[in-house]
A = this chain, B = another copy of it.
Amino acid sequence: MSEQADLAYAGLSAAARGRGAAGAAKPRGAKAAPGRKKGRQSRPPKPRERATASDLARKQRDISVSEFFAKNRHLLGFDNPAKALLTTVKEGVDNALDACEEAGIAPDVRVEILQKSESRFRVAIQDNGPGIVKSQVPKIFGRLLYGSKFHRLRQSRGQQGIGISAAGMFGLLTTGKPVKIVTRTGRGKPAQCFELVIDTRSNEPKVRRDEIVKWDPPHGTRVEIELEGSYRGGQHSVDAYIRQIALANPHAQIDYLPPAPPSKAPQNKAGKAAAQKAPAPQAPELRRFPRVTKELPPETAEISPHPYGVELGVLMQMFRDTGSRNLRGCLQADFSRVSGRLADEICERAGVRSNRKPAEISRAEAERIHQAIQQTRIMSPPTDCIAPIGEALLEKALRKEVSADFYATLTRRPAVYRGNPFLIEVGLAYGGALSAEEPISVYRFANRVPLQYQQGACAITKAVSGTDWKSYQMQQPRGALPVGPMVLMLHIASVWVPFTSESKEAIAHYPEIVKEMRLGLQECGRRVAIHIRRRRREADEAKKRAYIEQYIPQVAVGLQEILGFANKERDSVVAKLTDVLKRSRKL
């Protein structure tokens, strides 16, 4: 670092960060001298000073995961105010639905958005879930990478233990306000109220308030976060999200109170303001999305890792951690689909004795076992760990959303990527009021959560564009979405959905996943092609028939003249010919 740079900037910034360790970064002779700032550009460059290894070493430092995500908040879906509002709602609702389902409760979720000023909102999400034990509240809401869903293979909306605390952190960053939580774990238990902030430096919660309050619901949780945001319409809006989450979760009841713009002048209570010229802000109306079915989705099981999906490093770790006393037991107990016989087969193929203590297996032996696993035929992982929406409910949802002529839905059988079971569902609506001139709309879902951003980066988009829609009677520019009156809905359900970013907006391009999607799309494509062809044939028939019908009377008149028919006979000929036409060309 040159002397000049030191003088003008480095000293300042060391002070700016003001951390203990930062003092070390302060270069020799540096002094905050703001007056010199401007002079810098005109001076001739000095020869560089060489930074030594120990200069560089003094700057090395830990980065807390909260600091990391605070600075990279676009990774979590907080890139802009409109998206920040959506992400906050989304993380809250994901958690609410997960909690209810894990506890076997039919979810009643309430989302309220209160607009406090032009760019400031207070979001509240309330559920009737099992509530949260007091000691867990601070960590769940005030710490990134904390949760129950990461260390297991089980289908759920949340996966990472980041979402809701990140929303709270974003609220804190933009408004300085803490997250507020009210929770109650059951009738007769007190309702607990917390206000807490995340300390980004240490990724630890700081509790500002912790007391018992009066709260009516027998059990459940309510989270309130205040943040800088923006409320917009359109495909990326909170409204669109709420509609789509209701579609994909027909067993949930969702109440949604959208924001009303803050009124600038106090309004008359009787609503007289409405008579004035300026459109008065309307009081927001609660929108209820009632449940379509009372049945909860089939309960999903947690599964053990499948041997094919386990990498060498993970395998070695599992040997160190296992509770089993020998290799055979470990293979059998810690993995899906490994029987005692299969465990023996693997050990033998690897040339490692099956009674070896797992913790004592060397790297080389582990590598042989890893290879032996790949060479052994092992059943696919169990698939009852995945709960599809189902073809019937999917079609019901589509019919509710889109008015079309033709619907097709498909739930594929589960498949596996990297040892993780997953399942693809496809819904298709065609014709009707849909526009024939535009590229089709694609609704994307992962574990029943709508994905609204990053369509271009998503494996679903890749699968749709990569399908040859021309062979299904649709137009399609090369490598793009087809053009026509169609809506597609794709759903991936998995014990672990591979997203392209922490904000969970797009599915990563695993070949197995793209392939399954394509197969599902092709099947639905074939069905819609039959429909389109039939429609075309029908239109052709109708045209021909109209043409023939037009000439039947002429034919009859001709016959009457040639054969001297009476009018009655002529009419009978018309009737007969019409009948023949009808029978020969069935519509």
* Chain B binder among A239-247, A315-323, A345-353, A404-412: A315-323
Distance from A499 Cβ to chain B, minimum over Cβ atoms (Å) = 8
Tell whether A323 pairs with B34 under 8 Å between CB atoms, given A130-B56, A299-B1, A312-B173: no
Closest to A311 in B: B173
User: A209 interface residue, CB < 8 Å from B?
Assistant: no
Contact B321 A145 (CB under 8 A): no
- The A46-60 residues at the B interface (CB cut-off 8 A) are 48-54, 56-57, 59-60
User: A10 interface residue, CB < 8 Å from B?
Assistant: yes
Distance from A157 Cβ to chain B, minimum over Cβ atoms (Å) = 15
Closest to A219 in B: B53
Contact B150 A312 (CB under 8 A): no
Closest to A32 in B: B333
- The A130-152 residues at the B interface (CB cut-off 8 A) are 130-133, 135-136, 139-140, 145-148, 150-152
Distance from A182 Cβ to chain B, minimum over Cβ atoms (Å) = 14
- The A509-546 residues at the B interface (CB cut-off 8 A) are 509-510
User: A301 interface residue, CB < 8 Å from B?
Assistant: yes
Contacts of A132 in B (CB 8 A): 53, 56-57
Contacts of A175 in B (CB 8 A): 312-313, 367
Contact B151 A323 (CB under 8 A): no
User: A332 interface residue, CB < 8 Å from B?
Assistant: yes
Distance from A129 Cβ to chain B, minimum over Cβ atoms (Å) = 8
User: A393 interface residue, CB < 8 Å from B?
Assistant: no
Whole-angstrom CA separation of A87 from B384 in the bound complex: 36
User: A200 interface residue, CB < 8 Å from B?
Assistant: yes
Q: What 0/1 readout, one digit per residue, does chain A (298-329) give for beta carbons within 8 Å of chain B?
A: 11011111000001111011100111100000
Whole-angstrom CA separation of A305 from B51 in the bound complex: 24
User: A207 interface residue, CB < 8 Å from B?
Assistant: no
Contacts of A299 in B (CB 8 A): 1-2, 5, 48
Contact B313 A173 (CB under 8 A): yes
Closest to A499 in B: B72
Contacts of A456 in B (CB 8 A): 456-457
Whole-angstrom CA separation of A67 from B74 in the bound complex: 21
* Chain B binder among A14-22, A258-266, A429-437: A14-22
Tell whether A136 pairs with B57 under 8 Å between CB atoms, given A51-B102, A104-B49, A146-B63: yes
Tell whether A9 pairs with B323 under 8 Å between CB atoms, given A103-B52, A176-B312: no
User: A385 interface residue, CB < 8 Å from B?
Assistant: yes
Closest to A316 in B: B176
Whole-angstrom CA separation of A419 from B190 in the bound complex: 46
Interface size range on A against B:
35 or more
User: A466 interface residue, CB < 8 Å from B?
Assistant: no
Distance from A446 Cβ to chain B, minimum over Cβ atoms (Å) = 14
User: A99 interface residue, CB < 8 Å from B?
Assistant: yes
Contacts of A18 in B (CB 8 A): 318, 321-323, 334
Distance from A544 Cβ to chain B, minimum over Cβ atoms (Å) = 38
User: A502 interface residue, CB < 8 Å from B?
Assistant: yes
Contact A133 B57 (CB under 8 A): yes
Whole-angstrom CA separation of A65 from B63 in the bound complex: 11
Tell whether A12 pairs with B334 under 8 Å between CB atoms, given A68-B145, A150-B71, A318-B18: yes
User: A363 interface residue, CB < 8 Å from B?
Assistant: yes
User: A375 interface residue, CB < 8 Å from B?
Assistant: no
Whole-angstrom CA separation of A12 from B62 in the bound complex: 36
Q: Among B148, B305, B340, B510, point to the contact of A61 (Cβ < 8 A).
A: B148
User: A475 interface residue, CB < 8 Å from B?
Assistant: no
Contacts of A37 in B (CB 8 A): 337, 382
Whole-angstrom CA separation of A334 from B34 in the bound complex: 10
Distance from A284 Cβ to chain B, minimum over Cβ atoms (Å) = 26
Tell whether A79 pairs with B508 under 8 Å between CB atoms, given A150-B68, A175-B312: yes
Whole-angstrom CA separation of A17 from B57 in the bound complex: 37
User: A88 interface residue, CB < 8 Å from B?
Assistant: no
Whole-angstrom CA separation of A338 from B16 in the bound complex: 12
User: A553 interface residue, CB < 8 Å from B?
Assistant: no
Contact A99 B56 (CB under 8 A): yes
Tell whether A304 pairs with B16 under 8 Å between CB atoms, given A63-B150, A148-B61: yes
Max chain B Cβ within 10 angstroms of own Cβ: one of A37, A52, A313: A313
Closest to A337 in B: B37
Q: Among B148, B160, B298, point to the contact of A59 (Cβ < 8 A).
A: B148
Q: What 0/1 readout, one digit per residue, does chain A (541-556) give for beta carbons within 8 Å of chain B?
A: 0000000000000000
Whole-angstrom CA separation of A313 from B200 in the bound complex: 10
User: A105 interface residue, CB < 8 Å from B?
Assistant: yes
Contact B312 A102 (CB under 8 A): no
A–B pairs, 7, beta carbons within 8 Å:
A2-B299, A5-B301, A40-B384, A53-B130, A53-B186, A56-B132, A67-B150
